[in-house]
Chains A and B, each alone.
Chain A
Amino acid sequence: MQNQKLAKQLMKKSKTARYERFGHLLSLSALLLIMAIVLGIIVFVATKGLSTFFNDHISFKDFFTGTLWNPGTKTPSGHQAVGALPMIVGSFLVTILAAVVSTPFAIGTAVYMTEISPKRGAKILQPVTELLVGIPSVVYGFIGLSVVVPFVRNTFGGSGFGILSGTFVLFVMILPTIVSMTVDSLKSVPKYYRQASLALGATKWQTIWKVVLRAATPGILTAVVFGMARAFGEALAVQMVIGNAALMPHNLVSPASTLTSVLTAGMGNTVMGSLQNDALWSLALVLLVMSLFFNLLVHFIGRKGAFKK
């Protein structure tokens, strides 16, 4: 009798097993939902973006190499004026320049925070960088508009709006991202590498330069790529200082535009399904593909540089 009861109990699913299953289903459905959303966004942007080429019969060549952007009108040579090259060039220029300016600053700050004065780093610099991340981009843009643009105008001439101002604003915006990720990667360099280096007669500086930074290079590259992804996707702050002229930039202080700035400026002013609207979606598609590319790059660097242990 007793045994039968026990056997029956054992055959049934226990309470914990049901909880287990419930939790499993819950997290699985959350995952599926997110995957569906991401996939949905990609498919939506792709169909919209590609319809410029397939419905409106714009050639890829005109889009990627044309330098005249005024969808709905024609260029003097009779093509549709949907040349996105100025925006693509603008986006890449501000991104690359901002990364080039930020990286040395970020590495310097991170080295100070982890190697030279960890206590002060944790007490002062850590909260400061976190604060910088939290400032809304419109505030950056506003400061850029009222400080950076006049500064550039007075120093380099021109209107002050342009790639250079965009670079300065993005430099401050992506600095905390690169700093905090570089700090993480420096911290993950094992202490015994430093000891080994010092025991071989290296100075502290040589140890930082030749061992710590070198061992952390994959992590630092990842940080820079993340910063670039952020700069590439930043819209508002850049739009406020770059001048928003869909022209090929002649120099760093002439008004220009980026993919994001044209998108934010134009998205409210077009009719769904029109060429003007489709062309904007194509810009969005270029942005999306670039973000995916940055993500893949990060994965690739991360996998290649992981500490084998």
Chain B
Amino acid sequence: MSDPIITADNLDLYYGDFQALHGIHLDFEPHQISALIGPSGCGKSTFLRCLNRMNDMIDGVTITGMVKFHDQNIYSPQTNLVDLRKEIGMVFQQPNPFPFSVYDNITYGLRIAGVRDKQKLDEIVERSLKQAAVWDEVKDNLYDNALSFSGGQQQRICIARVLAVSPSVILMDEPTSALDPISSAKIENTLLELKKEYTIIIVTHNLQQASRISDKTAFFMEGRVVEYDDTSKMFVNPDNKQTEDYVSGRFG
């Protein structure tokens, strides 16, 4: 077992007076897909957004505890948010490409980081779109508005946009819940390819999806981690009664 790349340690989160996360402890290992599952409102998306500090933008959020990325606490005042988010990218539930061309979408992260070399940009565009398994569908229309593609293609363009800045971790917040089954399957295959190079943490409502693609699964309930273990164990022989009830569809 290798060293964890991200560790959450005793993480509490409050929306105003309401405590949404209670003392979360979780370790994520590199080059694995970790799934966060649980009923709606259990805090799994909230927790995911803690990992690249996207909750900072919401008014009234207080966070205590630590999230360590390569042994650095990302909530320490020295953390450079810009650098952090280049290392830990995020794909959202709704496909959200910018209303620009595909090319401009993919190069956005690089350009704001100061990359100007056209040849390098071209290379990265091709590489990331290929990694996201959408190159064949968009290569002839790189300069078309990204919004003119289908939802599934848009989501893979968004994945490519994150890959272009070469993060080490990719957070995904229900990336396929707005898509049809065929597009979802394509994205799942993409993720299985990507885990060779990246660490993926995915929030999903789709239990089959979690069991198909993830190596480890964390089950959240009411702001607490009920159980966290290898996916094969979680879905077949979980230790906890609540986990068993949830994965077998008795509630949730």
Using a CB–CB distance below 8 Å, which chain A residues touch chain B?
Answer: 190, 192-193, 195-203, 206, 210-211, 214-215, 307-309
Q: Does B113 contact A (CB under 8 A)?
A: yes
- Tell me if A201 and B96 are in contact (CB < 8 A): no
- Tell me if B112 and A200 are in contact (CB < 8 A): yes
From the candidates A199, A206, A214, name the one contacting B112 in the complex (CB within 8 A): A206
Q: Please name 20 pairs of A and B residues whose Cβ atoms are closer than 8 Å in the assembled complex, sorted by A.
A: A193-B98, A195-B96, A196-B97, A197-B108, A199-B54, A199-B89, A199-B92, A199-B162, A200-B85, A200-B89, A201-B82, A201-B85, A201-B109, A201-B112, A201-B113, A202-B108, A215-B98, A307-B99, A307-B147, A308-B147
- Tell me if B83 and A201 are in contact (CB < 8 A): yes
Closest to B147 in A: A308
Q: Return chain B residues, CB-CB under 8 Å to A214.
A: 98, 100
Cα A119 to Cα B112 in complex, Å, equals 28
Q: Does B165 contact A (CB under 8 A)?
A: yes
Q: Return chain B residues, CB-CB under 8 Å to A195.
A: 54, 57, 92, 96
Secondary structure at the A interface, as helix, strand, loop or mixed, is helix
Q: Does B86 contact A (CB under 8 A)?
A: yes
Work out how many contacts link A and B, with CB atoms closer than 8 A. 70
Interface string of B140-173 (1 = CB under 8 A from A): 0000010110000000001001100100000000
How large, as a class, is the contact surface on chain B? 20 to 34
Closest to A309 in B: B147
- Tell me if B92 and A198 are in contact (CB < 8 A): no
Cα A198 to Cα B98 in complex, Å, equals 12
Known: A199-B85, A201-B82, A201-B85. A210 touches B96 (CB 8 A): no
List the 8 closest pairs (A to B, CB-CB), nearest first: A201-B86, A200-B109, A199-B90, A192-B96, A201-B85, A196-B96, A308-B147, A206-B112
Secondary structure at the B interface, as helix, strand, loop or mixed, is helix
Known: A199-B89, A201-B109. A193 touches B82 (CB 8 A): no
Interface string of B52-86 (1 = CB under 8 A from A): 10100100000000000000000000000011111
Q: Does B94 contact A (CB under 8 A)?
A: yes
Cα A196 to Cα B111 in complex, Å, equals 15
Q: Return chain A residues, CB-CB under 8 Å to B161.
A: 196, 200
Known: A201-B109, A203-B82. A196 touches B92 (CB 8 A): yes
Q: Return chain B residues, CB-CB under 8 Å to A192.
A: 92, 94, 96
Within the complex, the shortest CB–CB distance from B180 to chain A, in Å, comes to 18
Known: A201-B86, A203-B82, A210-B112. A196 touches B54 (CB 8 A): no
Closest to A308 in B: B147
Cα A140 to Cα B97 in complex, Å, equals 45
- Tell me if B112 and A198 are in contact (CB < 8 A): no
Within the complex, the shortest CB–CB distance from A202 to chain B, in Å, comes to 5
Q: Return chain A residues, CB-CB under 8 Å to B162.
A: 199-200
Known: A192-B92, A210-B112. A198 touches B99 (CB 8 A): no
Cα A308 to Cα B100 in complex, Å, equals 11
Cα A83 to Cα B86 in complex, Å, equals 63
Q: Which residues 98-121 of B have a CB within 8 angstroms of A?
A: 98-100, 108-109, 111-113
Closest to B54 in A: A199
Give 14 new A-B contacts, CB below 8 A, not counting A200-B109, A202-B109, A210-B111. Answer: A195-B57, A198-B57, A199-B52, A199-B92, A199-B162, A200-B85, A201-B85, A201-B109, A201-B112, A202-B108, A203-B112, A211-B98, A214-B100, A308-B148
Cα A309 to Cα B145 in complex, Å, equals 12
Cα A199 to Cα B81 in complex, Å, equals 9
Q: Return chain B residues, CB-CB under 8 Å to A196.
A: 92, 96-98, 158, 161
Cα A115 to Cα B66 in complex, Å, equals 30
Q: Return chain B residues, CB-CB under 8 Å to A211.
A: 98, 108
Known: A192-B92, A192-B96, A308-B147. A200 touches B108 (CB 8 A): yes
Within the complex, the shortest CB–CB distance from B83 to chain A, in Å, comes to 7
Within the complex, the shortest CB–CB distance from A213 to chain B, in Å, comes to 12
* Best-surrounded residue of A196, A199, A214, A307 (most CB of chain B within 10 A): A199
- Tell me if A200 and B165 are in contact (CB < 8 A): yes
Interface string of B26-47 (1 = CB under 8 A from A): 0000000000000000000000
